[in-house]
């Protein structure tokens, strides 16, 4: 080809946008700033400012007689958190959050393990979508589905009756502390609903952690004479722990802040989230509600510092 | 992959887990066609499609759907703008405060929704802002940004930086490079992020209850129905619809980003 | 002859690291110029400085008489062929090639004609509507070349463009590139870590080490008259004679490069004025040559390389044998202690 010869770059008249682009190219820091200003402004002005306002309002005084908030600063709301009744709420919520985390890890493990180590190609894609879809589908619809399932004459009792397990159910419901009159008014029922709703959040991190474990490691373990059970106990399980810890961050934190499920299923008695909701809504005690929100924040911070040692952040 | 087969027990447990995850969803779909009007007995005595017509002739249902769509669209657009800007700024350069900015974006979905909700409410009250559509959108956009950010930043990282250099080398300035190279490459990631944000916003309940005031977007309408169970069949139909409206964008988002490491939805 | 690219004491620092350290050079128009060096030696940074992806921390760069300092890549009449080709994955081959013309505002009809011509030039005329992902590595490489050349750049930069190709294809592309360059008369600046590639294609080669140019010369001079020990050992292989060995030869305090093929074993050639007794430590058969590692009195070791022939096979020295090593004193090239200009 002979056409290629001589120059043709014409520094023609550049558009305003072009000149602005030149300007940005020469000042990368200014360009960066320009990109960052809108999101920073949003998060600073909307989110961080709101959090600070919440923290500040937790120091206001609520007058129990006139039911009004005055701007006098006090720490009384925080000392009130340690009242026996409030402390009960905190313990009840934390126990539930821990139980849900443990149980969902047990349910999630086989699914995650099968996905990561045995499923290939289409089966794997199918499993992935099948776990992801329930995770993203409407929270309120999932909770509603369980009110249908647990209702009197509903699906669950039909199955239990059909399988002839009425006695077993009755035995479970008779256990004090977790039982109740029916499934939908017992702690067992609430526990199942929580486990169901947060289960996908546990499966995916475990699956990701197991996925990273190289097959050669298992072969090496088998090669060194370990039987499958020992390989599982000493190689697979320890390596899955970061995934379990990462998943438990979700299950723990989500249970801790929930107030819809306790409202729909289970015995009376407030949860942390419901307490915040009631204080703010029905009572109008915003300072106390604000002080209560600090409890999950502190608990989650403590929990995070614990699971961080298990390598949870590497598995997120 | 290793050649050994999964044991029957493991296989059963894995598939059992999937059944557990989907059974309640199936039940919702089933009950939407239930002929029974006020009970939840199982199995349903008969099936019908008449409740769909009933639900779609109810003004409160239609209003709530319209409101939720409107909110989800606005929140998604805001999240797309803010999330893409943040991804463009943060994907390559490391500077002081970068980690704090990412943490700040993750917080709204990492902390329980009541905290975000109550914090926004307290701020609106302090500023005397009347809760309404705009306050809901503000709340939703805040926790949707990170969804878009995650998708877009993953695509940025997967797109070779030499493409941008090649474009400039061939004479394209920053604007032309953005328009012809960056945007087409980001397109599907933005679309996927936007769909996930839409799905998340459409059915968000916890933050919404605090910021909605007297507005009744669909999740709140549903919640009200549950605590005062009057017209069960209409509730069932709406529940099925909400589920579909959130499932379809999530499925599309998955298909759009499949094949890369940046699979959408892996970090809600 | 006009100068295409000139560096004047150019440095580029990344924090504490001096990637390019006080480099000065002049590349003539129409020259095939190679930058050769190990990874991290500063050759790629130099290329990026010419392209405009980096700006010098010190010094200045002149491209075709115009000060390029501070000029962004899109305002330089220079195009690059990238190591990973950097073809735009969402565009077909023809649109990839026409991209540079499009952003400069060339009318659609003209730019498609020119892109098609460029595609013919690299013998891929049929592939215009394919996506880059549907092409082989060698084809992508040619598309990247066509995409750069269609803009008629004054200088073409090539960043290890053949590194990802297999040996056969690489050799073919080497000769194609060379003939293309002769035909177009464009200045080519070619970055590589492969000394054979640099020697076989270039008019001149700059050898980089630690951000500096060790030596800049024609391939022949680079090989025959290396200036420093680094060049002697990086370009081809070489014995570097110094210390006790040079004392024995009454040349103490200096060091010399001596190519293995200039050392002969048990030769009766009277012109080889340096003769030493040694012992064979190791023999490596390399097909065309045999390499001997020989220990000299005083403990110094040298490598000698002899061409294999049918006749010499039988009485070739073996490990442990005593041999006479000899070479011509002219074959010894005195080395400078430091990198310097030549």
Q: Structural domain boundaries of chain C? A: 3-233, 239-334
Q: Is C117's Cβ below 8 Å from some Cβ in A?
A: yes
Does residue B183 register a pLDDT over 90? Answer: no
Does residue C246 register a pLDDT over 50? Answer: yes
Under a CB-based contact definition with an 8 Å cutoff, are residues B83 and B102 in contact? Answer: no
Does residue A263 register a pLDDT over 90? Answer: no
Task: Identify all chain A residues contacting B21, using CB atoms and an 8 Å cutoff.
Answer: 130-131, 134, 196, 199-200
User: How far is the C-alpha of A213 from the C-alpha of A75, rounded, in Å?
Assistant: 50
Q: Do B171 and C74 touch (CB under 8 A)?
A: yes
Q: How confident is the model at residue B2 (pLDDT cuts 50, 70, 90)?
A: very low
Burial A44-55 (b: 16+ CB within 10 A, else e): eebbebbbebbb
Q: Helix, strand or coil for residue A279?
A: helix
What was the pLDDT predicted at A304? 81
What was the pLDDT predicted at C312? 63
Q: Is A10's Cβ below 8 Å from some Cβ in C?
A: yes
Task: Identify all chain B residues contacting A149, using CB atoms and an 8 Å cutoff.
Answer: 24, 27
Query: Of chain B residues 184-223, which have a CB less than 8 A from chain C?
Result: 184-185
User: How far is the C-alpha of C216 from the C-alpha of C72, rounded, in Å?
Assistant: 28
How far are the Cα atoms of A233, A259, C290 from residue C260, in angstroms, in the given order? 60, 83, 10
What was the pLDDT predicted at A3? 38
Chain A closest-CA separation from residue C121 CA (Å): 6
> Which residue has tokens 């999530």?
B250
> Which residue has tokens 């604007």?
B175
More confident residue, A219 or C12: C12
Q: Is the ipTM of this complex over 0.85?
A: no
pTM greater than 0.80 (yes/no): no
Does residue C342 register a pLDDT over 50? Answer: no
Does residue C146 register a pLDDT over 90? Answer: yes
Q: Can you list the domains of chain A with their CATH numbers?
A: 17-51 (no CATH), 76-315 (1.10.3720.10)
Q: Residues A277-305: what's their mean pLDDT?
A: 85
Asked whether the bond before B43 is cis by omega within 30 degrees of 0, the reply is yes
> Can you read off the two tokens belonging to residue B22?
């989907």
Q: Is B94's Cβ below 8 Å from some Cβ in C?
A: no
Nearest 5°: phi and psi at C191? Answer: -100, 130
What digits encode the pLDDT tens for the residues C39-80?
Answer: 989 999 999 999 999 999 999 999 998 898 888 899 888 999
Instruction: Supply the mean pLDDT for chain C.
Output: 89
> Which residue has tokens 């045999």?
C290
What was the pLDDT predicted at C188? 95
Task: Identify all chain B residues contacting C89, using CB atoms and an 8 Å cutoff.
Answer: 163, 185
Chains that touch A (3 or more CB pairs under 8 A): B, C
Interface probe, candidates C55, C90, C145, chain B, greatest B C-beta count within 10 A: C90
Q: Do C88 and B168 touch (CB under 8 A)?
A: no
Does residue B151 register a pLDDT over 90? Answer: no
Does residue A85 register a pLDDT over 50? Answer: yes
What was the pLDDT predicted at C335? 87
User: How far is the C-alpha of B261 from the C-alpha of C152, rounded, in Å?
Assistant: 39
What was the pLDDT predicted at A231? 76
What is the share, in percent, of chain A residues with pLDDT greater than 70? 92
Chain B closest-CA separation from residue A174 CA (Å): 24
> Can you read off the two tokens belonging to residue A56?
């500040």
Task: Identify all chain C residues contacting B176, using CB atoms and an 8 Å cutoff.
Answer: 103
Does residue A310 register a pLDDT over 80? Answer: no
Task: Identify all chain B residues contacting A22, using CB atoms and an 8 Å cutoff.
Answer: 173-174
What was the pLDDT predicted at A10? 42
Number of B–C residue contacts, CB under 8 Å = 65
What was the pLDDT predicted at B39? 65
Strands (E), chain C: 3-14, 17-28, 32-36, 58-63, 66-67, 78-81, 155-159, 187-192, 204-209, 212-217, 239-241, 256-258, 264-265, 274-285, 289-295, 301-307, 322-327, 333-334
> Can you read off the two tokens belonging to residue B166?
């090649």
> Measuring CA to CA, which residue among C326, C336, C203, C217 is closest to residue C273?
C326
Under a CB-based contact definition with an 8 Å cutoff, are residues B135 and B217 in contact? Answer: no
Rounded to the nearest 5 percent, the helix, strand and coil shares of chain B are 75, 0, 25
Under a CB-based contact definition with an 8 Å cutoff, are residues C327 and C269 in contact? Answer: no
Under a CB-based contact definition with an 8 Å cutoff, are residues C22 and C212 in contact? Answer: yes
Q: How confident is the model at residue C319 (pLDDT cuts 50, 70, 90)?
A: confident
Instruction: Supply the mean pLDDT for chain A.
Output: 82
Q: Is B25's Cβ below 8 Å from some Cβ in C?
A: no
Q: Is A9's Cβ below 8 Å from some Cβ in C?
A: yes
> Which residue has tokens 């769509």?
B69
Top-tier CATH class for C3-233: alpha beta
Q: Give the domain C239-334 fold.
A: OB fold (Dihydrolipoamide Acetyltransferase, E2P) (2.40.50)
Sign of the CA dihedral with A173 first, then A179, A182, and A184 last: negative
Sign of the CA dihedral with B9 first, then B15, B18, and B22 last: negative
Task: Identify all chain A residues contacting C186, using CB atoms and an 8 Å cutoff.
Answer: 4
Taking residue C170's Cβ as centre, other Cβ atoms within 10 Å add up to 18
Q: Can you list the domains of chain B with their CATH numbers?
A: 58-257 (1.10.3720.10)
Interface probe, candidates C30, C69, C75, chain A, greatest A C-beta count within 10 A: C75
What was the pLDDT predicted at A316? 54
Burial B197-233 (b: 16+ CB within 10 A, else e): bbbbbbbbbbbbbbbbeebbbbbbbbbebbeeeebbb
Instruction: Supply the mean pLDDT for chain B.
Output: 84
What was the pLDDT predicted at C187? 94
Q: Minimum mean pLDDT among A236-250, B190-204, B220-234: which range?
A: B220-234
Task: Identify all chain C residues contacting A12, using CB atoms and an 8 Å cutoff.
Answer: 105
Q: Do A7 and C152 touch (CB under 8 A)?
A: yes
Q: How confident is the model at residue C155 (pLDDT cuts 50, 70, 90)?
A: very high
| DSSP structural state of residue C228 | B
Does residue B70 register a pLDDT over 90? Answer: yes
Sign of the CA dihedral with B106 first, then B107, B113, and B116 last: negative
Does residue C29 register a pLDDT over 90? Answer: yes
Interface probe, candidates C74, C110, C111, chain A, greatest A C-beta count within 10 A: C74
What digits encode the pLDDT tens for the residues C117-134?
Answer: 999 988 888 898 999 989
Does residue C314 register a pLDDT over 70? Answer: no
Does residue A2 register a pLDDT over 50? Answer: no
Q: Do B82 and A138 touch (CB under 8 A)?
A: no
Task: Identify all chain B residues contacting C74, using CB atoms and an 8 Å cutoff.
Answer: 168-173
What digits encode the pLDDT tens for the residues A4-24?
Answer: 333 334 444 567 777 777 777
Residue ranges of the alpha helices (H) in chain C?
43-51, 93-103, 108-121, 137-149, 167-184, 195-201, 219-224, 229-234, 244-248
Q: Minimum mean pLDDT among A94-98, B225-229, C13-17: which range?
A: B225-229
Q: Is B168's Cβ below 8 Å from some Cβ in C?
A: yes
């Amino acid at each position: 080809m002979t056409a290629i010869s001589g120059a043709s770059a014409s520094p023609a008249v550049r558009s305003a946008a072009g000149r602005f682009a030149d300007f940005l190219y020469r000042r990368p820091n200014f360009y960066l700033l320009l990109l960052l200003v809108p999101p920073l402004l949003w998060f600073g002005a909307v989110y961080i400012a709101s959090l600070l306002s919440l923290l500040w309002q937790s120091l206001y005084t609520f007058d129990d007689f006139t039911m009004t908030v005055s701007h006098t600063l006090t720490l009384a709301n925080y000392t009130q958190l340690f009242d026996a009744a409030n402390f009960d709420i905190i313990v009840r919520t934390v126990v539930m959050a821990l139980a849900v985390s443990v149980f969902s890890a047990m349910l999630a493990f086989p699914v995650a393990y099968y996905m990561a180590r045995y499923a290939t190609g289409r089966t794997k894609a199918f499993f992935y979508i099948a776990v992801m879809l329930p995770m993203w589908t409407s929270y309120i619809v999932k909770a509603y589905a369980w009110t249908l399932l647990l209702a009197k004459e509903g699906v669950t009792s039909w199955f239990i009756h059909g399988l002839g397990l009425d006695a077993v159910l009755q035995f479970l419901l008779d256990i004090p502390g977790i039982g109740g009159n029916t499934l939908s008014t017992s702690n067992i029922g609430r526990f199942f609903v929580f486990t169901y709703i947060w289960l996908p959040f546990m499966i995916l991190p475990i699956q990701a952690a197991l996925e990273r474990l190289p097959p050669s490691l298992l072969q090496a373990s088998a090669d060194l004479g370990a039987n499958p059970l020992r390989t599982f106990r000493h190689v697979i399980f320890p390596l899955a722990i970061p995934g379990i810890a990462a998943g438990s961050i979700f299950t723990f934190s989500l249970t801790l802040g929930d107030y819809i499920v306790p409202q729909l299923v289970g015995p009376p008695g407030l949860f942390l989230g419901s307490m915040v909701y009631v204080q703010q809504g029905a009572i109008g005690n915003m300072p106390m509600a604000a002080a209560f929100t600090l409890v999950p924040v502190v608990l989650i911070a403590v929990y995070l510092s614990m699971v961080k040692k298990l390598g949870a952040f590497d598995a997120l | 992959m290793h050649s050994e087969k999964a044991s029957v027990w493991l296989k059963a447990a894995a598939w059992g887990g999937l059944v557990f995850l989907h059974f309640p969803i199936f039940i919702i779909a089933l009950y939407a066609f239930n002929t029974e009007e006020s009970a939840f007995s199982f199995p349903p005595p008969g099936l019908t499609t008449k409740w769909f017509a009933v639900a779609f002739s109810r003004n409160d249902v239609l209003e709530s759907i319209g409101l939720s769509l409107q909110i989800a669209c606005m929140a998604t657009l805001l999240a797309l703008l803010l999330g893409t800007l943040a991804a463009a700024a943060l994907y390559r350069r490391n500077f002081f405060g970068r980690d704090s900015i990412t943490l700040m974006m993750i917080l709204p979905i990492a902390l329980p929704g009541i905290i975000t909700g109550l914090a926004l409410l307290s701020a609106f009250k302090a500023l005397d802002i009347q809760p309404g559509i705009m306050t809901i959108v503000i709340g939703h956009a805040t926790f949707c940004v990170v969804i878009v950010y995650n998708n877009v930043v993953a695509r940025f990282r997967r797109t070779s930086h030499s493409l941008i250099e090649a474009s400039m080398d061939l004479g394209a300035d920053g604007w032309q490079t953005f328009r012809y190279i960056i945007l087409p490459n980001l397109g599907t990631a933005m679309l996927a992020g936007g769909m996930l944000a839409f799905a998340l916003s459409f059915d968000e309940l916890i933050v919404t209850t605090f910021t909605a005031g007297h507005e009744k977007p669909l999740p709140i309408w549903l919640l009200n129905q549950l605590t005062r169970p009057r017209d069960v069949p209409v509730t069932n139909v709406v529940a099925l619809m909400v589920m579909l409206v959130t499932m379809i964008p999530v499925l599309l988002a998955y298909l759009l980003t499949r094949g890369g490491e940046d699979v959408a939805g892996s970090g809600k | 002859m006009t100068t295409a690219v000139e560096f004047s004491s150019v440095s580029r620092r990344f924090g504490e690291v001096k990637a390019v350290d006080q480099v000065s050079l002049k590349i003539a128009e129409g020259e095939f110029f190679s930058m050769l060096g190990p990874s991290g030696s500063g050759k790629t940074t130099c290329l990026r400085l010419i392209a405009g992806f980096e700006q010098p921390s010190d010094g200045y760069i002149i491209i075709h008489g115009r000060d390029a300092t501070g000029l962004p890549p899109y305002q330089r009449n220079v195009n690059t062929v990238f190591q990973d080709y950097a073809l735009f994955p969402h565009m077909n081959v023809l649109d990839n090639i026409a991209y540079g013309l499009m952003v400069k505002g060339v009318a659609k009809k003209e730019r498609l004609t020119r892109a098609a011509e460029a595609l013919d030039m690299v013998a891929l005329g049929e592939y215009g509507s394919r996506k880059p992902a549907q092409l082989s590595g060698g084809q992508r490489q040619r598309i990247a070349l066509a995409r750069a050349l269609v803009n008629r750049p004054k200088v073409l930069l090539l960043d290890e463009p053949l590194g990802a190709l297999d040996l056969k294809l690489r050799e073919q592309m080497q000769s194609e590139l060379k003939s293309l360059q002769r035909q177009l008369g464009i200045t080519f600046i070619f970055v590589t870590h492969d000394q054979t590639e640099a020697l076989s294609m270039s008019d001149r080669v700059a050898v980089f080490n630690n951000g500096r140019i060790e030596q800049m010369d024609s391939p022949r001079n680079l090989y025959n008259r290396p200036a420093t020990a680094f060049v002697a050992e990086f370009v081809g292989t070489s014995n570097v004679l110094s210390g006790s060995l040079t004392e024995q030869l009454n040349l103490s305090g200096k060091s010399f490069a001596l190519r293995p093929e200039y050392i002969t074993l048990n030769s009766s050639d009277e012109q080889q004025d340096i003769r030493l007794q040694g012992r064979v430590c190791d023999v490596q058969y390399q097909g065309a040559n045999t390499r001997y590692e020989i220990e000299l009195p005083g403990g110094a070791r040298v490598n000698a390389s002899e061409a294999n022939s049918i006749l010499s096979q039988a009485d070739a020295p073996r490990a442990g044998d005593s041999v006479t090593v000899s070479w011509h004193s002219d074959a010894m090239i005195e080395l400078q202690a430091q990198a310097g200009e030549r």
